[in-house]
Amino acid sequence: MEPKIIKGGGVTSALGFRAAGIACGIKPAREKDLALIVSDVPGEVAATFTTNLVKAAPVKVSMQHARNGKIRGVVVNAGCANACTGVGGIADAKSMLDHVAKEFNSKPREWLVCSTGRIGTRLPMPQVRKGIEKAATKLSLENGTEAAKAIMTSDTRRKEFAMRIKVNGRKVTIGGMAKGAGMIHPNMATMLCFITTDACIDKPTLQSCVDEAVEHSFNRISVDGDTSTNDTVIVLANGLSDTNLLKSYHPQFALFKKTLTHVMRKLARMIVEDGEGITRVVDVVVKGAASVQDAKLAARAIAKSELVKTSWTGGDPNWGRIMTALGYCGARVREEMVEIYYDGVLAVVNGQPSKTPMAKLKKIAAKPIFTLTIHLHVGSGEYSILTTDLTEEYVRINKGE
Amino acid sequence: MEPKIIKGGGVTSALGFRAAGIACGIKPAREKDLALIVSDVPGEVAATFTTNLVKAAPVKVSMQHARNGKIRGVVVNAGCANACTGVGGIADAKSMLDHVAKEFNSKPREWLVCSTGRIGTRLPMPQVRKGIEKAATKLSLENGTEAAKAIMTSDTRRKEFAMRIKVNGRKVTIGGMAKGAGMIHPNMATMLCFITTDACIDKPTLQSCVDEAVEHSFNRISVDGDTSTNDTVIVLANGLSDTNLLKSYHPQFALFKKTLTHVMRKLARMIVEDGEGITRVVDVVVKGAASVQDAKLAARAIAKSELVKTSWTGGDPNWGRIMTALGYCGARVREEMVEIYYDGVLAVVNGQPSKTPMAKLKKIAAKPIFTLTIHLHVGSGEYSILTTDLTEEYVRINKGE
């Protein structure tokens, strides 16, 4: 059976998960800024954290807690990253966990914590503590959507998605929520993603599924090329679907992994589509590279080139700038072998302009979503990355006035 | 004697050099688009070319000609890069040299050729050939300035500079012109630079001086992080100052090298100051890195971060984004050791906000020129790079509509 999309599904679609999203006073104007996700029973956890050497306090704390032992849930705040806050910031992150643990008569190390927002400011802890108490009273299935709202920063819309499969004749659900719109680049973006599932799966197997799914989703998106200090993907599996354990030899294991990857890819795409100020979403596909690594270098250079991205803003299929990026990306490139396609229409052949009329290519580059395919014809390495254009609005949003 | 700046000096300041700049019809509206620089006698040449694997036709041809033998001069066109033009483009570049060589009763291999402009279109050769003939009749000392105008593309002003030193009691002059405003990044930028000198120096010595000077000038500037297909620095030395040969043991050798570096640094700074749409010029200085390589990684990551650059646009000393860039740049960074200064004023100490009032830092970040100093405190590696902010105007210029 193919996975089914759960309409309106999200972080509370799987059995035994409740959530809440409330305003505690970190953000101005009573905007929601604190979310809580709780499993009725302790579950397995697998997580991926930012590769940035400058890690926020909640990342440092959650990395420890995610290492072993079961997890009850996650507390998340928006409006303050709790990054570059020294030992005080670590104490704040731990205090959040102490507080949430007390509410649920559990141990602090059964909880994870995430923060997102401006770097270098401390959390207003009295408000945060009161917020946690309040959130604990608001937990429900319906409030999954409120939680998805509470983790937003520069996001213009909430990001939720869920799917259901059948395992041993029982329903298994994978659902989640994410946030992110800027500081988005592989390994990883300022993005937070929380996925819950009622699957029966052990920790190492879950972690291997998460690693693979992240590699094919959140590690393949780029808005502005900046990797944040707070990026986190957390997957909680509470086992309430009560199926056989999903080990690699289980007949439905591949289906589970594929569905988890699909949920992450969907949430990753939502992040790109909500990218700050963007007007185009571009699937950059590199084929025929000397190696996968080379294909990655080429795809990333294009996704990071200010000149390529601004040309898309103007609906200009400026392949000269793409050739330029290919030339400096570090991959093996033979100019005279390069082919470039916009939505499958040949723009460059043998490193030179094709006979396709410019007007036809311009029409494609002006679309809100298109695919740029580059064939290097020097090997069989492939890689793709989902990126955006670079607009005046992006600059306006980020210039901080 | 310290080097003296020659007021209004440029590519014809050194003895025996003449130049011309004319309109031949590559650019619309009769804008100047063809320049010629000629030495009265054949001279030594040293040059540096783009590291981009996709090299324009004139780069491929000039690389061969610069390798050995003496050089009479350079022909340069703007408005068309003659890049990604295949064998036809190579033929065009060679035809330009055939034509200029005939005008001066010399051999094509005594000439170099450069192009700058849009990639992927062919040169209008009949016009270019006529233009070369016309330029040959316009050569003069005064027309050095016209040559500097004729090589401009998105530049808003011409870039010329010259200095004079004394060697063996005789005047030695080093002067030049440059162009560039976008696609500017180390190794190297879409920039062309032509320097002429009447110094007596042999080819290998001149090349070593040029390599060092380029490393400290054009390789340390970044506007938008894109390395072009056409970048070229050419230095011609015709020996007409008639001094002793400037070998490394010559007492004035260090002075010559210093002055050449100074001329290149000045021209490089002019390029950054004329960067497309910029409102800030920022000297990014990294100190205390584990190695020079690490300092370079850190400086370049900051100079390339869209988020750091847009924050400067708004006059926002957003050091959180700088910490983020340091964390992902690949250099050894210990968060708790990092110090950040704006114009010498402490913004971050031990990886956390200093006590300096935000208003004071904002005042500095709103200046048109300031220095950002980062001390990593893990070693003694140092590196600096000159960069800019990223503005809505940059996007407007490059979105190509």
**How sure is the predictor about A231, in pLDDT bands with cuts at 50, 70 and 90?**
confident
Q: Residue B187: which pLDDT band, with cuts at 50, 70 and 90?
A: very low
pLDDT of amino acid B356: 96
Q: Identify the weakest region by mean pLDDT among A96-100, A326-330, B8-12, B125-129.
A: A326-330
Residues B62, B114 contacting (CB under 8 angstroms) = yes
Q: What is the pLDDT of residue A223?
A: 75
Closest approach of B44 to chain A, Cα-based (Å): 30
* Residue B311 confidence (pLDDT): 92
B85: closest chain A residue by CA: A352
pLDDT digits (tens, 9 = 90+) for A108-162: 999 999 999 888 899 999 999 999 999 999 999 999 999 999 999 888 999 999 9
Instruction: Count the Cβ atoms, other than its own, within 10 Å of residue B8.
Output: 11
Instruction: Identify the bridge partners of residue B73 per DSSP, sorted by sequence position.
Output: B38, B111
- B327: nearest CB among A121, A182, A229: A229
pLDDT of residue A102: 97
Per-residue model confidence (pLDDT) at position A401: 53
Terminal-residue alpha carbon distance, chain B: 52
In this prediction, residue A225 carries a pLDDT of 63
In the prediction, which pLDDT does A190 show?
62
pLDDT value at B177 more than 90: yes
- The distance of Cα A176 from the centroid of its chain, to the nearest Å, equals 11
% pLDDT > 90, chain A: 82
Given B120, B315, B398, which is nearest A311 (Cβ)?
Answer: B398
Find, among B341, B373, B321, the residue nearest to A120 by Cα.
B321
* pLDDT for res A361: 96
- For the stretch A345-370, pLDDT in tens is 999 999 999 999 999 999 999 999 99
pLDDT in tens, B370-390: 999 999 999 999 999 999 999
Closest residue of chain A to B354, computed from CA coordinates: A120
CA distance A159 to A27: 19
What local confidence, expressed as pLDDT, does residue B89 receive?
Answer: 96
Specify the pLDDT at position A191: 85
Nearest partner of A190 among A152, A231, A218, judged by Cα: A231
- Average pLDDT in the A204-208 region? 96
Structure confidence at residue B191 (pLDDT)? 85
Per the annotation, the verdict on B190 as an active-site residue is: yes
Is ipTM strictly over 0.90? no
| Mutation for testing the B interface, residue in A92, A310, A348 having most B CBs under 10 Å | A310
What is the per-residue pLDDT across B330-346, written as a single tens digit (0 to 9) for each? 999 999 999 999 999 99
Rounded average pLDDT over A33-59: 94
Residue with tokens 């007949």: A251
Task: Say which of A118, A392, A400 has its CB closest to residue B395.
Answer: A392
The reported pLDDT for the residue numbered B225 is 63
Model confidence at A184, pLDDT cuts 50, 70, 90, reads low
Taking 50 as the threshold, does the pLDDT of residue A186 lie above it? no
Confidence (pLDDT) at B254:
96
Residues 6+ apart with CB under 8 A from A180: A155, A159, A189, A190, A191, A192, A271, A274
Q: What is the DSSP letter of A387?
A: E
Q: What is the pTM of this model?
A: 0.85
Determine the average pLDDT of the residues in B236-254.
Answer: 96
Q: Tell me which of A277 and A62 has the higher pLDDT.
A: A62
The alpha carbon of residue B120 is apart from the nearest alpha carbon of chain A, in Å, by 6
pLDDT band of A187, cuts 50, 70, 90: very low
Secondary structure (H, E, C), chain B:
CCCEECCCCCCCCCCCEEEEEECCCCCCCCCCCEEEEEEEEEEEEEEEECCCCCCCHHHHHHHHHHHCCCEEEEEEEEEECCCCCHHHHHHHHHHHHHHHHHHCCCCHHHEEEEEEEECCCCCCHHHHHHHHHHHHHCCECCCHHHHHHHCCCCCCCCEEEEEEEEECCEEEEEEEEEECCCCCCCCCCCCEEEEEECCCCCHHHHHHHHHHHHHCCHHHEECCCCCCCCCEEEEEECCCCCCCCCCCCCCCHHHHHHHHHHHHHHHHHHHHHCCCCCCCEEEEEEEEECCHHHHHHHHHHHHHCHHHHHHHHCCCCCHHHHHHHHHHCCCCCCHHHCEEEECCEEEEECCEECCCCHHHHHHHHCCCEEEEEEECCCCCEEEEEEEECCCHHHHHHHCCC
Question: Angle between the B86-103 and B57-67 helix axes, to the nearest 10 degrees?
Answer: 50
Tell me the pLDDT band of B248, cut-offs 50, 70 and 90. very high
| Pairwise CB contact (< 8 Å): A119 & B182 | no
CA nearest A81 in B: which residue? Answer: B320
Cβ pair A320:B227 closer than 8 A: no
Amino acid identity of residue A91, one-letter, is: A
Dist CA A331 CA A357 (whole Å): 29
**Distance, CA of B333 to CA of B108 (rounded, Å):** 53
Q: How confident is the model at residue A62 (pLDDT cuts 50, 70, 90)?
A: very high
Give residue B154's pLDDT band: very low, low, confident or very high (50, 70, 90): confident
Contact A351, A323 (CB under 8 A): yes
B333:A53 CB<8 A: yes
Q: How confident is the model at residue B50 (pLDDT cuts 50, 70, 90)?
A: confident
Angle (CA) B361 B362 B368, round 5°: 105
What confidence tens digit (pLDDT) does each residue in B201-217 have? Answer: 999 999 999 999 999 99
Residues in chain A: 401
Report the DSSP beta bridge partners of residue B353.
Answer: B348
Q: What is the pLDDT of residues B297-326, one digit of tens each?
A: 999 999 989 889 999 999 999 998 899 899
CB pairs under 8 A between A and B: 196
pLDDT above 70 coverage of chain B, percent:
96
In A248-388, the DSSP E strands lie at 281-289, 339-342, 345-349, 352-353, 369-375, 381-388
The pLDDT of residue B188 is 38
Cα torsion for A61, A66, A69, A74, to the nearest 10°?
Answer: 80
Q: Determine the number of helices (DSSP H) and then strands (DSSP E) in chain A.
A: 11, 16
CB contact under 8 A, B401 and A326: no
Mean pLDDT of chain B: 93
May I ask the CATH architecture of the domain B281-398? Answer: Roll (3.10)
The whole-angstrom separation of Cα B235 and Cα B197 is 8
Span B262-287, average pLDDT: 94
- Look up the CATH architecture of domain A4-273: 4-Layer Sandwich (3.60)
Where do the structural domains in chain A lie, given as residue ranges?
4-273, 281-398
Looking at residue A188, its pLDDT comes to: 38
Closest CB from A120, A318, A400 relative to B353: A120
